[in-house]
Structure 1
Amino acid sequence: MTTARILVIDDEEQIRRFLRISLRSQGYQVIEADNAEAGLGLAATQTPDLVILDLGLPDADGKTVLAEIRAWSSVPVLVLSVRDSETEKVLALDGGANDYVTKPFGVQELLARVRNLLRSVGDAAKPGGLFDDGHLRIDLGLRLVTLDGSPVHLSRKEYAVLQALVAQPGRVVTQSQLLREIWGPSHVEDTHYLRIVIGRLRQKLCDDPSEPGYLETEPGVGYRFIGER
């Protein structure tokens, strides 16, 4: 099995050292850049499996780096930033980031996010879009959802939301992305539609919102599918 290669783009030496030690302790290869130009060069030449990107770089805004990466690559990008507003998170996620962690952060949270994103790459490569943990089975190819062997009957909107989240496991999908794709551009502010559908999905999947096993809320930002196979 090939060890995942992770590119860290951050101008703070202490943060890079912390990430280097933490990631290498889990067996990951780590390559580093302390500015946008060097980071883009490594992203293009070293084919990383994951990019950890700071937004506050000295020579360019991290969102610009993200946009350039997204112009030619679908590599998962985990954004790090001291900017903790919902608006900043939504802008980064709508701009193509797969996840967002606010500084300061705990190592266990970070490693869990890294595992989720690396797992999502492998899941995306599997044919048919199948999730099955022995309890819940979601077959996107057959458009079939079962719980303990019994069919789960979903409305068109409920299935569309679940499909959008399951297709990108571990990734936060913003409310605006879901509303735009499923309800249409004129409904991007109608977040109550989404809350109702998520509530119904949780009820039908027997997913406790206080301790979610499948659908996790990123308050004010969006939702992610966190089920593990």
Structure 2
Amino acid sequence: MIAEIQSVTLFATLLLSFFESSLCTLQHVTCGSLVKLMNSDHKVRLHSHDVKYGTGSGQQSVTAVNDVDDSNSYWQVVQAYKSTPCKRGAAVQCGDVIRLLHMNTNTYLHSHHFSAPLTESNQEVSAFEEKRTDTGDNWRVMCDSDLWRRDDDVKFQHIDTGMFLAATGSVYGRPIKGQYEVAAMKRNNRNCGWRTAEGVFVKESDDPIRFQEKNQDDDEDDDDYEEHDEL
């Protein structure tokens, strides 16, 4: 009788553990996931495309759009620059430092000490080529719980400058008419909240995602890539 009770208890414990693991996968953003990030205030999605800024750094522009179906709004959650690889499908913890890789152009969400195009008091946010990733691509996930929940607002603080990713509310004219300015703000206000909208959320796996990236300090020779195990 005691052995039967122990067996039932063990089975229930394993079932609960499996349920909790599955629940975590369903409810939280995980390493390797492909997401669209919607600004909580303006209800527009973080976006990029192969259009360069005409001022500032001249790097690829980052905006926000109303279009729900635009594939240029997909970003992959990957490990921070020069950090220990995170496990594919592991839930991202509040306080973790990550990078966001733009899927259609293979560029990282980036910021630096250039003025934003429309609101000069803010800092430019660009998309920086994957081969030249550096610490300017690192962002801290700030949220109120232990893990980054898919249905909660989070904020992204730029590691190098301490500024917060924001949709400013200013709108572009030509050639990207109707798209919203995305910039980094000093003040952590309502423009800085983001929530996952659509996405493909990766379940936990021991298999790493393998890809090649080239650091800014590497030689100019394109064949001189350093291969990493990612996630």
Q: TM-score, normalised by structure 2?
A: 0.24
Select the structure of larger CA radius of gyration.
2
Q: Which has the higher contact order (CA 8 A, sep 6+)?
A: 2
Specify which structure has the higher proportion of strand: 2
Specify which structure has the higher proportion of helix: 1
